[in-house]
Amino acid sequence: MNDFTIRPVGDRALTVEFENQVSRAVSQKVTALQDQLLSREIPGLGELVPTYRALLIHYDPLRIDPDELARTVSLAAGDLPPAASISGTVVEIPVLYGGEYGPDLEDVARAEDKAPEEIIRIHSGSDHYVYMLGFAPGHPYAARAEKPFSIRRRETPRLKVPGGSVGVQRDMSDIIPFEMPTGWNVIGTTPILVCDYRRENPFLLKAGDWIRHVPIDLSRFREIRRQAELGEYRCRRYERGSGR
């Protein structure tokens, strides 16, 4: 049994809310419900948008009755398969840390009272779970359970950071898809593209994936960036817990 609430969101969407907390257990209910609904042919069902604790379900009111949809959703949400809590796909993201590629690494190190090398070791030393994508196309909100930082967002956001910037705040880590403002502390840059519209599925990540950051040096950064721009670079992917 799961605790959940179904509420209307405007006249063409419903939200299914699980426990009001950020946790992998709750997030995995959200993605499990998403997968359940996607595996059925429900006429009039629109997009599904998973977030920390809620699944937003768009529908076409001209094709499906909202009460009928709510009943279907309620049955599915009450009977989710138990999640194997460590499963999921790990995507390896190469990151060049520090210097002009990670202008806030020194600040983060100072705030955490650690050497910059130790910050890099912590950030690249455990998998980050992708709770959701949003804010901008392909932009992940990911977090790790191990050794969270205490630093929060910058008091003054940077008005422009380049695409590929890897930002952190507390236990969270993100990747900026293209040049835009950010308030997160930029500690590195990845040479890969988190969204590449030339691909049939333009997005590198989805909710429920895991990110593993892999430190690289400048020459490797340039090599990967060149391959990525040609559309030839593929990130290493493996099932979590399968060993590497």
Partner 1 sequence: MNFLVESPGLLTTVQDGGRYGYERFGVSPSGPMDRHAFQIANILAGNRRCEGALEATILGPTLVFDGDGVIALTGADMGAALNGVPCPTWRAVAVYAGDRLTMGPARSGCRTYIAFCGGLDVPTVMGSRSTALQSRIGGYEGRKLAPGDTLAVRPAPLPQNLPARRAAPPPPYGGRVTVRVILGPQEDAFTAEGLDTFLTQPYTVSNDFSRMGYRLEGPVIRHREDGNILSDGMVTGAVQVPTSGRPIIMMADRQTVGGYTKIAAVISADLPLVGQCKAGDILRFRSVSLAEAHEALGRAEQELRDLERAVAAPACPEKTYRVTVNGTPYDVRIQRMK
Q: In terms of CB distance, is 27 or 185 closer to partner 1? A: 27
Q: In the complex, what is the shortest distance from the CB of residue 5 to partner 1, in angstroms, rounded to a whole number?
A: 9
Give 95's Cβ-side CA count (13 Å radius). Answer: 31
Q: In the complex, what is the shortest distance from the CB of residue 72 to partner 1, in angstroms, rounded to a whole number?
A: 17
Q: In terms of CB distance, is 21 or 87 closer to partner 1? A: 21
Q: In the complex, what is the shortest distance from the CB of residue 25 to partner 1, in angstroms, rounded to a whole number?
A: 14
- Report the alpha-carbon distance of residue 148 to residue 97 in Å, rounded: 18
Q: Looking at the chain, list the stretches that DSSP marks H as alpha helix, in order from N- to C-terminal side.
A: 24-38, 66-77, 105-112, 116-124, 218-229
Torsion, Cα of 121, 244, 206, 164 (10° steps): 40
Q: In the complex, what is the shortest distance from the CB of residue 19 to partner 1, in angstroms, rounded to a whole number?
A: 10
Q: In terms of CB distance, is 46 or 215 closer to partner 1? A: 46
Binding site residues, partner 1, CB under 8 A: 7-13, 15, 17, 20-22, 34, 46-56, 58, 61-62, 66, 132-139, 141, 177-178, 195, 197, 202-203, 206-207
- Report the alpha-carbon distance of residue 133 to residue 177 in Å, rounded: 11
